[in-house]
Amino acid sequence: MLLELHDPVVALMRDVAREIVLPRYQNLAADEISEKAADDLVTIADQESEIRLAEGLAAILPEAGVIGEEACAADPAILERAGDGLNWIIDPIDGTGNFAAGKPPFGIMIALADAGTTLAGWILDPLTGRLCHAALGAGSHIDGERVQARESGGELPVAALAVYFMTPEERADIQRRAQDRFAVVDIPRCAAEQYPRLVLGQNDVSIFARTLPWDHAAGTLFVNESGGCCQRLDGSPYIVGDTRRGLLGASSPRMWDRAADILLR
């Protein structure tokens, strides 16, 4: 089934990028950007992208439900069924803050999950056309070529720490622990970019506080299927529908253990 889904899902994502997302890039009016919550923007492109993606995915696999970021913002009860049965998970534009500011990176993310287990994930960069894809048990691919996660190889591991949804106390603790143990770099504020960086040898470690499925279902599968390691802070797998906070990703299982020892224990 997953192999049969791949081409129509990718075609849909590329159509939405070309027809909806890119025409709005650096071309948004002030009244086309609003704030759902503090530091959480939505644009007309997010809304239109999700409508088109939801319609297209429902046609591709009618037996699956649809869990979209913007639909959940309007009706939080939708998120409560994310771990039940077969569901498409949609992030119509990941990195909306960047998109609204007219700068990269941003992406479109789709996952297919069954009873909380992510079966497949797709991450598209509309600007470059790069497509990251993973299927459970079948590895990870970028633009059709299988990829293996690799460490950066620097003197210090490179860490991108998404601490902005942590409490001030949590943030200070993580930053203290990371000091002089990691080369800490700026985060892209875009999971659609952060997850590929863990695979491509650009970043070794990333920690996330908020773990909503549209941000992480596709990315965790992509990292894990490439030979990297992305797990809950206690070492358990990421399951769609699990509402706990905290997720640690790394370019290898060895690096995950090293990061957990430094940052968490």
Per-residue DSSP letters for 116-176? TEEEEEEEE-TTT--EEEEETTS-EEETTEEE------SSS-EEEEE-TTS-HHHHHHHHH
pLDDT at 98: 97
Interval 37-48 mean pLDDT = 90
DSSP annotation of 202: S
230 touches 249 (CB < 8 A): yes
Residue 52 phi, psi (nearest 5): -65, -40
Q: Which amino acid is at 150?
A: R
Interval 82-90 mean pLDDT = 97
Query: pLDDT category, 84, cuts 50, 70, 90?
Result: very high
123 touches 91 (CB < 8 A): no
pLDDT averaged over every residue in the chain: 96
pLDDT at 199: 98
Tell me the pLDDT tens digit for each residue of 176-198: 999 999 999 999 999 999 999 99
β 205-208/33-37 pair status: unpaired
DSSP annotation of 238: P
Longest dimension (CA), the chain: 51
pLDDT at 37: 77
Structure tokens, 136: 């459970």
Name 185's bridge partners: 160
Name 63's bridge partners: none
3-state helix, strand, coil in the chain (%, to 5): 40, 25, 35
Q: How many helices (H) and strands (E) does the chain have?
A: 9, 14
pLDDT at 236: 97
Core vs surface per residue 9-47: b (16+ CB within 10 A) or e: bbebbeebbeebbeebbeebeeeebeeeeeeebbbebbb
pLDDT at 1: 77
How far is Cα 231 from Cα 263, in angstroms, rounded to an integer?
14
Interval 67-96 mean pLDDT = 96
β 86-94/65-68 pair status: parallel
pLDDT at 233: 96
pLDDT at 241: 95
| Residue ranges of domains in the chain, CATH in brackets | 2-147 (3.30.540.10), 158-263 (3.40.190.80)
Query: pLDDT category, 222, cuts 50, 70, 90?
Result: very high
pLDDT at 164: 80
* Cα–Cα separations (whole angstroms), residue 217 to 43, 81, 101, 113, 192: 22, 15, 25, 8, 11
pLDDT at 36: 83
Structure tokens, 1: 């089934």
Core vs surface per residue 135-151: b (16+ CB within 10 A) or e: bbeeebbbeeeebebbb
Percent of the chain with pLDDT over 70: 100
pLDDT at 232: 98
Three-state DSSP at 66 gives strand
